[in-house]
Chains A and B, each alone.
Chain A
Amino acid sequence: MEALLIAIKARILELAPEFLQFPLGHLLSITPVISVFAGIFALTTWIERKGLGRIQNRLGPNRVGPVGILQPVADGLKMIFKEDVVPRSADKIVHFLAPILLVIPTMLAFSVIPYGNRLVPIDLDAGILFFFAIGGSAELIVFMAGWSSRNKYAMLGAMRAIAQMISYEVPLILSSIVVIMMAGSLSLVDIVAVQTGGFWNWHVATPWGFVGFLLFLTAALAESNRSPFDIPEAESEIIAGHMTEYSGFKYALFFLAEYLGLFAMTGLAITLFLGGFHAPFPFLNWVPAPLWFFGKFAILVALFIWIRGTLPRLRMDQLMGLAWKFMIPMSLITFAAGATWHYAGKGLLAWILCTPMLLGSYVYLGTALTKGQKVSKRVYRFAD
């Protein structure tokens, strides 16, 4: 399948004149990535609403098309034709630029993820650094959105979002640095190449990789403001955070950027820990590699929807405490475990040394942090 795609691209490029080859080649790599992920975004909003409806014992969207599958189209049309309201006191230029600028880094983040053999838009030598550098600019843009609205709720939401993103960027980067250390490269293509030949070679099948994967997923959820970490836009407290003063298509762009950011993080998690586009067993190698990538992708997105339907929202101090008191020490210990794994020969001895190290620190941190907290069953005084 990848060979077919690459052959089609080469064929089209042959037909093009000399001076068009460079831009056309990149255009042919960029267009599929953008259109595929925008399509997945539309489908995910529908699946999410259906899934949440099922969890909450209701139907979800069911009016437009069979089982409501055309709901994203209807939503998109509504968003485009809605009136675009800009507050009179808003800083017009910054207010206009923020949603547009926010889409650019989230789109760029897809350009370094390998989707199959030789199927990577750009193979950068420092690919993972590019991913995090681009992701870091989202904080500034969220600030622009919150500040230019001249609304207290928008400003509060933006400050919450920035504090949360800065705090969770640290465990996110630390837990992926362990993988970089073990793979010996910053290029995502090389990191995938280390994990060939069956799921026992994936990084998630090692003690440090498993812990790193869980830390990475939690930090990725927080980084893309997903429930249970959706404090910046908590509807019941501060309306919609930095998106309060946005309407119509600009709001849709924020929504799109949020989902695309989550997708990019998911893609990176698959690449770093779940073996990228590789099959779990060598005898399954005949299945085209992109299908494996998107299969793992679908499982993780379903997991995110499940988490959103299950867990209640955290409080601000709980959120900060989790990042600084638990996840950062834990990811530093994962470093040590990775080093031990490397020097203990990656065999049985390494398992014996690494597992108690990680388990012990998990138990210690967990008990030390919950000490003195009284946890009891919640009492509903006014309901039922």
Chain B
Amino acid sequence: MTFSFAIIAFITLIGAVGALAFRQIVHSVLCLAITFTGVAMLYLQLGAQFLGFAQFLVYIGAVTILILFAVLLTKNTGPTISGQVYSASWVSGVGVGVSVFVCLAWAILRTPQLDRLAAEETNSTVKAIGLSLMSDYVIPLEVIALLLTAAMVGAIVIAMNETSTQTTMQGANHEKGLK
């Protein structure tokens, strides 16, 4: 186990534990950002440069900000958190988590084929990725484009004010006009 891997793994896990445990939701989300950064660094260590930067761009620049906006819109940001933040049956929840980890770790550790090092050279240049996106994976790419558009429209329609259907319809039409 190399030193750099140990550090990055430590950062990732600290972030995950923080996201799990903090009472203040904004703190949890900031810890989640630490985990995302750690995972991006793991990708870089594994030689997936493009993917590491994409992970950083999408998760830190978009998903975390999105979650923070949702936290603010649901007014969960007060300095003190009143009431319970953990569910009543949290003991069994932790139990399930621990047993899942034990099962996975047992399976990983008793498989000797997994205990191997990576091959030296990788062929993950941006050019190779682009060519393969445009040839072998062109249909998934188009489907993803459709999915993202649908998700955007869907998110806007769901989150729009439900009191007046009139404005909702107008807004949806306006959205179509923008496309």
Residue ranges of A at the interface with B (Cβ–Cβ < 8 Å): 89, 91, 94, 124-126, 129-130, 132-134, 136-137, 139-140, 143-144, 147, 150, 159, 162, 166, 169, 185-187, 324
Asked if A133 contacts B33 (CB within 8 A), the reply is: no
Interface of B is mostly: helix
Q: In the assembled complex, how far is the CB of residue A381 from the closest CB belonging to chain B, in whole angstroms?
A: 36
Task: Give the B interface residue count (CB, 8 A).
Answer: 23
User: Inside 8 A of A126's CB, which chain B residues have their CB?
Assistant: 49-50, 53, 126
Q: In the assembled complex, how far is the CB of residue A104 from the closest CB belonging to chain B, in whole angstroms?
A: 11
Asked if A140 contacts B79 (CB within 8 A), the reply is: no
Asked if A129 contacts B65 (CB within 8 A), the reply is: no
User: Inside 8 A of A150's CB, which chain B residues have their CB?
Assistant: 79
- Cβ proximity bits B68-94 to A, threshold 8 Å, 1 near / 0 not: 100010000101000000000000000
User: Inside 8 A of A162's CB, which chain B residues have their CB?
Assistant: 65
User: Inside 8 A of A129's CB, which chain B residues have their CB?
Assistant: 50, 53-54, 57
22 contacts between A and B (CB under 8 A): A124-B49, A125-B49, A126-B126, A129-B53, A129-B57, A130-B53, A133-B54, A136-B57, A136-B61, A137-B56, A139-B61, A139-B65, A140-B30, A140-B61, A140-B64, A143-B68, A144-B30, A169-B61, A185-B126, A185-B127, A187-B126, A324-B178
User: Inside 8 A of A143's CB, which chain B residues have their CB?
Assistant: 65, 68
Asked if A186 contacts B57 (CB within 8 A), the reply is: no
Instruction: Answer yes or no: B19 CB below 8 A from chain A CBs.
Output: no
Instruction: Answer yes or no: B60 CB below 8 A from chain A CBs.
Output: yes
| Bound Cα distance from A186 to B72, whole angstroms | 36
| Bound Cα distance from A150 to B65, whole angstroms | 18
Residue of A nearest to B61 (CB): A136
Instruction: Please report the number of residue pairs spanning A and B whose Cβ atoms sit closer than 8 angstroms.
Output: 59
Best-buried of B30, B61, B62, B178 by chain A (most CB within 10 Å): B61
Indicate whether A136 sits within 8 Å of B60 (C-beta atoms), given known contacts A125-B125, A126-B126, A147-B77: yes
User: Inside 8 A of A187's CB, which chain B residues have their CB?
Assistant: 126
Q: In the assembled complex, how far is the CB of residue A146 from the closest CB belonging to chain B, in whole angstroms?
A: 10
Instruction: Answer yes or no: B26 CB below 8 A from chain A CBs.
Output: yes
| Bound Cα distance from A136 to B65, whole angstroms | 10
Q: In the assembled complex, how far is the CB of residue B173 from the closest CB belonging to chain A, in whole angstroms?
A: 16
Q: In the assembled complex, how far is the CB of residue A217 from the closest CB belonging to chain B, in whole angstroms?
A: 21
User: Inside 8 A of B127's CB, which chain A residues have their CB?
Assistant: 185
| Bound Cα distance from A164 to B61, whole angstroms | 13
Residue ranges of B at the interface with A (Cβ–Cβ < 8 Å): 26-27, 30, 33, 49-50, 53-54, 56-57, 60-62, 64-65, 68, 72, 77, 79, 125-127, 178
| Bound Cα distance from A134 to B55, whole angstroms | 11
User: Inside 8 A of B26's CB, which chain A residues have their CB?
Assistant: 147
Interface of A is mostly: helix
Asked if B53 contacts A133 (CB within 8 A), the reply is: yes
User: Inside 8 A of A147's CB, which chain B residues have their CB?
Assistant: 26, 77
| Bound Cα distance from A139 to B72, whole angstroms | 15
Best-buried of A91, A126, A130, A187 by chain B (most CB within 10 Å): A126
| Bound Cα distance from A186 to B30, whole angstroms | 30
User: Inside 8 A of B33's CB, which chain A residues have their CB?
Assistant: 140
Best-buried of B33, B50, B57, B72 by chain A (most CB within 10 Å): B57
Asked if B57 contacts A132 (CB within 8 A), the reply is: yes
Q: In the assembled complex, how far is the CB of residue B78 from the closest CB belonging to chain A, in whole angstroms?
A: 10
Q: Which among A133, A144, A166 is the interface contact of B56 at CB below 8 angstroms?
A: A133
Asked if A140 contacts B57 (CB within 8 A), the reply is: no
Asked if A137 contacts B30 (CB within 8 A), the reply is: no
Closest 5 CB pairs of A and B: A136-B61, A133-B57, A133-B56, A133-B53, A129-B53
| Bound Cα distance from A171 to B40, whole angstroms | 25
| Bound Cα distance from A137 to B27, whole angstroms | 16
Asked if B61 contacts A137 (CB within 8 A), the reply is: yes
Q: Which among B50, B60, B125 is the interface contact of A137 at CB below 8 angstroms?
A: B60
| Bound Cα distance from A169 to B61, whole angstroms | 10
| Bound Cα distance from A229 to B178, whole angstroms | 24
Q: A125-B50, A144-B30, A150-B79 are in contact. List 9 more A-B contacts (CB 8 A).
A: A125-B125, A125-B126, A136-B61, A137-B56, A139-B65, A143-B65, A186-B50, A186-B126, A324-B178
| Bound Cα distance from A315 to B68, whole angstroms | 25
User: Inside 8 A of A139's CB, which chain B residues have their CB?
Assistant: 61, 65
Asked if B49 contacts A136 (CB within 8 A), the reply is: no
